[in-house]
Every structure is written in structure tokens, then in C-alpha cells.
Chain A
Amino acid sequence: MKQNDVIAGGIFIALGIFIFTQTISYPSPEKGHPGPGLFPNILAILFIGFGSTLIFKARKPLSKDEMEIASGPKRVSNALFVLGIVALYVVLVNSVGFLITSAVLLFVLMKKLGVTLLKSAVASIVITLFINLMFSKILRVPLPIGILGW
């Protein structure tokens, strides 16, 4: 029994049903021919069909390869930390500016991943300056400068 497949199948079926609830209100061209809703509705049917197949097939026991995927070391806190870093960047960058936001967030993330204090400090500054050079100077993308002016 592959529990993850059952959950994934359920999510895809739910997505299929959700598409149907949305497409009901879509307009249709004259003469009653299908319009904007046709393609999403076909996809909804496929989501439900293949999602059900996935759940049906999940009853089989795990094969050796899949066991390897299922096990293995997991550091969920690191993954959540990465998501948090991106979220913080989104919140901070316009007010604080790219240079400070990037350097600080890189430093924090590297520390979390076990890099030493000095290496984290140097690497986060070097990477930030490198990205700034590439995007701001060479590609001329206006990176947010923030209230401090950099």
C-alpha cells in the first residue's frame, strides 16, 4: 500500500472536481458550441481518471526502488527554512533594499546549513556582490534599493 500515492491521487481528483466547479460559470459562444470551458473540462476528466487509477494501483506493495525514495535522511526544518527565506525576501526587499536583504538572508541560511561564521559572512557578501554585478550592472535590471539607498 503506497499511502503517498493515495494522497496524491486524492489531490488530483479534488483538483479535477475544483476545475468543474469553476468552468460551470464560463460563457459559451453562440450556437451552443464549446468555448473556454472545453479544454479545462477535458483536463478535469483526465485528472479524475488518472487520479483514480493511481489510487487503484497504490494497493500493490512497494518495489525496491520506491522503498529507497521513501527512506533516506530527511531534514524537514532545512526545507522549511528555505521557504521562509524566500518569503522573507519577498516581504523585506522593497523596503530594505536588495544588497542588505540578500546578504543577511544568505548569511542566516548558510549558518543554518552548518557553515562556519567567517565563511558564511564572506560567502554571503561575495555572492550578493556577484549577483548585483551580473544583474544590476551587466543586465541593468533595477534591483530594489530600499530606504537606505542601497
Chain B
Amino acid sequence: MDFVLQGLVLLASPKVILVIMISAIYGLFVGAIPGLTATMAAALLIPFTFFMDPVPALVSIVTMSAMAIFAGDIPAALVRIPGTPSSAAYTQDSFELTKQGKAEMVLGVDVVFSAIGGLMGAIILMSSAPLLAEIAFTFTTFEYFWLAAMGLSATVMVSRGSQVKGALSMILGLFLSTIGVDITLGYPRFTFGSVELLNGVNFIPAMIGLFGVSEVIRSVMQGELAYPIARVRAEKIFSGMWKLFRRYKVNVLRSGLLGTFIGILPGAGADIAAWIAYAFSKRGSKEPEKYGVGSIEAIVDSGTANNSCLAGDWVPALVFGIPGDSITAIVIGVLFMKGLRPGPLIFEQQPEILYAVYIAFIIANLLMIPFGYLSIKCSSQMLRVPRNILMPGILMFSIVGSFAINNTIFDVGVMLVMGVIGFFLEANGFPVAPVVLGIVLGPIVEKNFMMSMIKTEWDVTQFFTRPVSAILCIITLLIWFFPLFMTVLQKAKARKPG
């Protein structure tokens, strides 16, 4: 319990409390507005966190993301549009129940089970991260190479839609990471004589472009959306929750664990956790016929899973410096810029950073109950914010945020180019998250590979003969051959008569 006290002391300053409050409101707002994702919220938040100390910066991102993932459920229930991709899995069920006059129950489940899921994830994060850090201490460049390779492989495998497109997105990210001075000989690569590109593509403007500007472009192309908003009596949302919890306690436990585990997998974020929990929920349910036409069980399961996933995402990020999803990828990018190296050394040298993250998760999920209630009360006002004023505002924020990091107009150009790339990728069905993971993991893969090779005078066998290396290598290969294995299995099943 020692770290809890230390963490609380860190967070007890009025400044940090103010940061938590503002981040919570910001997260709820962004999450509740369809089209604005939690990743975009993180990208727009980094110019601010860049100027903060590490503790409030991390606390701010944790609080914001927890609130945003919950708030994405609000428009799913009220207007049948998920506020963030993480609510997409159960949007249909939420809205069907709203049509049956059960909007209060749906939103109550959204708040309460998001908070429970988030707390479960936080507990698993707090207990597993120090244990894994012990293992991580024994890792050398060989193991880090495999970890990053594993992360990249998992990113492609779990990307929704075409895996070929997921792979191309990731390779594009890796390529962007090679721009700038190379690490072995200091030779400038793909800079075309530009001094600004010598240090590589600036990470923060790139993220703001990929997730902010691309979203603005997409939104202005759609024009103004008009939707009827279901009415909801916020004061009634908590009635019957205890009964539901007792009825579905096994579901909550299963989905909380599942969500956290998916979070720990590099590259898989809350949206994927929700889809997988939904599938598991339907398979285990006594009432599978209700799924898709209004199942509260589905909402309990996926709502728990997507919030527990958030804490899971931080496990590989803190322990190995390998991001669990696009938000933690952004966090790692920011930590690097601040000269902090996520990895096992943090556990010895800067434990306050860990405590801050742990405690922030607990506080954010406890605050979710009152803040969630208030946001549901204000939901119809939030959903009526005119997009044609909001989007220009976000665009100007993006421009100034990109400029602010280095005070250079060049970065605004980087933002614009990345915004256009992000827009075209998404418009053609290429997932954007693998690009970020590629940008963050690219240098880790290359640096650890080259360092290992130089150390051993190009003895490649070391990558396979060191025990931990060999295990990580086998896991990576298993990830690669998993789809092939599944196809063979399906064909074999299809061949069986009956």
C-alpha cells in the first residue's frame, strides 16, 4: 500500500486536481461527440502535456481517455452513432433498448460497468506491471527486437478489415520513422536536403495531422448531420444497477479480464476489446437471440471490456516501452520527447510516474460515476453542438498546437501532409492506428537489431539461440501463422460431414 500513499501525495496538489477535472470534462465532451475519437483527443492534448511535468501530463491523458471511452456510449444509446469506435460493437443493442424506452438503464449500465471495468483493469495493471518489469530487467537488445517485432505483427493481425491494408499502414509508419539521421552511421535518410527533417518527422504534429486534421477533412465533407436525440431522465439511471451486477457478475469478471488481456497485447485497443467481448458474450449467453436487437448483457460485457482494456494498454507501454494501442503510442512518443524512457528502469528510477498512472486510473474510474451522471444530464446539449463551428475550431487548435512545440511553421506543414495522408488512408479502408505504432516501434526495431548485430559482429544465430529470444521468436511466428492456421481449421471443419 506504500505506493498508494506516495501516489496520493503526488496527486494531492491543487494543480493536479485541476488538471484531472479539466481532462475529465474534455474527455467526456470529445467522447460524446460522434466523429471525435479518444485518440484524436490525446493528439490534441499533447501540445498541452508537452509543457507540463510528467506526472500531471500522464494523469491528464489517463483521465481523459477513461472518460472518453465511456462517453462514446452516450450517442450510441441516444442517436445510434458511436461517439468513439470503442462503442461501435454494441451501438445497435444500445439504441434498440432506447427505442424500447430503456435509455436510462442502458446509460446506467454504461457508466457503472465502464467504471467497474476500468477499476479491474487498474488492479491488474498495478499487480502485473511490477512482476513483468522483473522479467524485463533481464532483456537485452535481442529480446527488445523480438518484442517490437511481436508488437508489429500483433498490430497487423488484429487490425479490423483487410490485414494487407493493416500491414501497409504499419510499413508506412515504419518508413516515416526512418526519415532523418540514421543511428548506425549518422547518415541523413530521405531528408532531401531539409534541415528540419534531420531529426525525423516531428511526432506531435504528425499525430495531430493523422488524427485531428484528417477528422476535420472527413467531417466537412459529410456536411452537417441532423439527428433526433432521444430524451433521457438522468436521475433514474442508477436504479436497478445492483441487481444487474449480481446477475451478470460472471460476465463482468470474464470481460474485465479479457479486456485487460487484449489491452496488454501490443496494438490492440479498446475498440477491438469491445468486439471480442461482444462475441464471447453472445457465445456464452442464455439469450443469444437478443443480441443485435437489444441485449443488456452485450452492453455489460463489451462496456466492461473496453474500459478495462485502457489500463491493460499501459502494461507493455510502462514495462517494455512497447505501446498497447494508439493512445499509449502517443504517450510513449511524448515521454521520449521529454527524455523519459519507458521500460523497466522507470520502476527503479522514477517510480512516481508509475504511481501517478496507477492512482490516476483509480481516481478517473471513481470520478466516472458523478461525472458520467452529469454528462448524461447535459447529453442533449453536447450532441447539439454545431459541427460547422466545432470543426474550424479544432482545425485552428491543431495548427497552433503543431506550431507550439518547436515554434516553427514547418511543423504546421508536417501536420497538413500527415492530415491528408490520414484522410486518404481511412477513406480507402486503411486503418490509421498501425501507422502510429509503426512510427513508434520503427526506431526500436531498427536500433535493437543493428545494436545486436554490431555487438556480435553479425552473428544472426543469437536471435534464435538465447532462451528468451527464442520464446519471443516462436510467439511472433505463431502470430504470423495464426490466420493460416485458422483457415486450415475452418476448411477441415467444413469438410467434416454434418
**Residues of chain A at the chain B interface (Cβ within 8 Å):** 4-5, 8, 12, 15, 19, 22, 26-27, 29, 33, 35-36, 38-40, 43, 46-47, 50-51, 53-54, 57, 65-66, 69, 72-76, 78-79, 81-83, 85-87, 89-90, 93-94, 98, 102, 105-106, 109-110, 113-115, 119, 123-124, 127-128, 131, 134-135, 139-143
**Cross-chain pair count, CB within 8 angstroms:** 161
Cβ–Cβ < 8 Å partners of A72 in chain B: 222
B220 touches A82 (CB 8 A): yes
From A39, A83, A135, contact of B404 by CB (8 A): A135
A19 touches B389 (CB 8 A): no
Interface residue? B279 (CB, 8 A): no
A110 touches B175 (CB 8 A): no
Interface residue? B216 (CB, 8 A): yes
Q: How far is the CA of A8 from the CA of B172 in the complex (A)?
A: 12
Could you give, for residues 138-178 of chain B, a 1 whenever the CB lies within 8 Å of some chain A CB and a 0 otherwise?
A: 00000000000000000000000110110110011011001
Q: How far is the CA of A29 from the CA of B184 in the complex (A)?
A: 9
Cβ–Cβ < 8 Å partners of A98 in chain B: 400
Interface residue? B224 (CB, 8 A): yes
**Residues of chain B at the chain A interface (Cβ within 8 Å):** 47-48, 51, 161-162, 164-165, 167-168, 171-172, 174-175, 178, 182, 184-185, 187, 189-190, 213, 216-217, 220-224, 386, 388-389, 391-393, 395-397, 399-401, 403-404, 407, 409, 412-413, 415-416, 419-420, 423, 427-430, 445-446, 449-450, 453, 458
B182 closest partner in A (C-beta): A36
The smallest beta-carbon distance between A20 and chain B, in angstroms, is 12
Q: How far is the CA of A81 from the CA of B396 in the complex (A)?
A: 14
Cβ–Cβ < 8 Å partners of B161 in chain A: 65
A82 touches B216 (CB 8 A): yes
A39 closest partner in B (C-beta): B446
Q: How far is the CA of A43 from the CA of B443 in the complex (A)?
A: 13
B171 touches A8 (CB 8 A): no
With A40-B175, A114-B224 already in contact, the answer to whether A106 and B392 are too (CB < 8 A) is yes
The smallest beta-carbon distance between A104 and chain B, in angstroms, is 11
From A12, A75, A110, contact of B392 by CB (8 A): A110
A93 touches B409 (CB 8 A): yes
The smallest beta-carbon distance between A78 and chain B, in angstroms, is 4
B175 touches A15 (CB 8 A): yes
The smallest beta-carbon distance between B52 and chain A, in angstroms, is 9
B221 touches A79 (CB 8 A): yes
Cβ contacts A to B, 26 pairs, < 8 Å: A15-B175, A26-B187, A27-B187, A36-B184, A36-B187, A39-B445, A39-B450, A40-B175, A40-B189, A43-B171, A46-B167, A66-B429, A73-B222, A74-B221, A82-B220, A86-B416, A87-B416, A89-B412, A94-B409, A109-B392, A113-B391, A115-B386, A119-B389, A127-B392, A128-B396, A143-B400
